Amino acid sequence: MLLSILFTIFIILCSIVLYFKVTNSNYWKKWNVLQISDVSLEFLFSKESLPIIVKRMYDEHDVPHIGTTSATIPTLIVKNVDDIQAVLAGDFQSFNSRGIISNANDLLADNLLFMNDFHRWKLIRQKLSPVFTSAKLKNMFYIIERCARDFVELVEHNAHLRKVPFNLISRYTTASISAAVFGIDTQVKSTMESPFVELAFRALRPSFIQNVIVVIANTFPRLYKLLQLKLFGEHEEFFVGAVKTVLESRRHDTTKRYDFIEICLELQKNGIMQDFSTGYKLEPTDELMAAQAFFFFVAGADTSANTMHYSLLELSNNPKILAKLHEEIDKVFEGGAGELTYNDIDKLQYLDQVINEAMRKYPPVGVMQRLCTKDTVLPSGIPIAKGNTIMIPVFGLHRDEKYFDDPHVFDPDRFSPENVSKIKNYAYLPFGEGNRICIGVRFARLQVKAGLAWLLRRFTLVEQDNCVPEFEKSPFGLRSPDARYELKLRDI
């Protein structure tokens, strides 16, 4: 039924889009900006990921700006790094919105840190930021390390699961986030036995319906609100219910666990949250806390899995890099302690370089957007009106030879201590930049490094001849779950 309704709406909207396409076909030309075909229509009728489409536009037109439309909304693809810096940081007051629309009845999506409501976003971000301090993460690291060990045990004892490595890695990132949020369940033998694994798979797997809903939300926000559509409605009852149950069971438990639920309980114990600079107040309800827990899964499970996945894929293509990385990991594990410590992670410098290069070649988010919230002018002189959208072509920037020599070559030495300072500011954006930079950067790095360190301590990769991934259709990411490489037990 929902599919029929959405298809009818889709046909109607396409007619409206065609009308506005003609109306706005010269919108950017008055500023002497090249204008090309509508980017959202091309995405809907293509089998390609949106970052691939935007990168192709980036490569085909040697200009600093590319004008287009997103259905009814004038949209500017910005290639100039000074303009990108202004959008993400310098002129944040004009670009504080991601332009991702949600409905108040959508308990999960409307309370995520992707929200447009600036005052609510600012307050929630203030209250969540302490979760990701070095001190908090150091206390939480025992959870991540346990999950990494359980992950490797799962890989070692399930040869048939290794045939689809992305699913294995997704299980690790999802289960480790689950443990970081809810704590380690002492009733199960392995942290990989998480009830949230399948939930995350379903929530994050791109689908035609979800793609249509995203397009409606971001190009026809009034219609989206009128129809009361939800991005994550099918997961609401289960996830909100699970968080409420855990919160209630833990309210009378004084055991220190250093997980996210403990932070939620502290926030609720302190009462009404308030931003003293604006006076904005918000009650830390169970539903609000559930949405923040869900945010961990939405923002972290798939992006971290992709980073690990592409790191391993490229290591299978580059045996010399793999050998150098094995040497570093083995050195850290010397002494036979049987576990990694928080301080050990800092010693894995070359692994950090490998991960950084994987995120350059395959950025976790391939295209970012910002909605202009008040009229402004970019440093290059292009006026941007309130309601216009800016697209930042992260994938295009990361593969641009102006910023990275031989951009299609996997070279971790780009990020060596002596070379990393040479990278142009705002040309490398794996986590974004500015006030809306990914709040979970530190957690993600710990999670990915611990998982890869344990995996490559026990396993190596069978060399293959330059396997190139094919990306599936997605509005923001670069997903290639069918890409293959073979893990082989090491003799250590």
Binding residues for heme: 438
Residue that has been written with the tokens 């919108």 in this structure: 27
Q: In the beta sheet, which residues pair with residue 282?
A: 273
CA 189 from centre of chain? 30
- One-letter amino acid at 474 equals S
Q: How far is CA 37 from CA 69, 216, 476, in A?
A: 7, 18, 19
Q: Distance between CA 466 and CA 314 in Å, rounded?
A: 8
| Widest distance between CA atoms in the chain | 69
CB 90, CB 405: distance < 8 Å: no
Instruction: Tell me how long the chain is.
Output: 492
Please report, in range form, the residues annotated as the binding site: 438
Strands 376-377 and 459-461: unpaired
Q: Distance between CA 328 and CA 331 in Å, rounded?
A: 5
Strands 459-461 and 487-489: antiparallel
Torsion 20-23-25-31 (CA) sign: negative
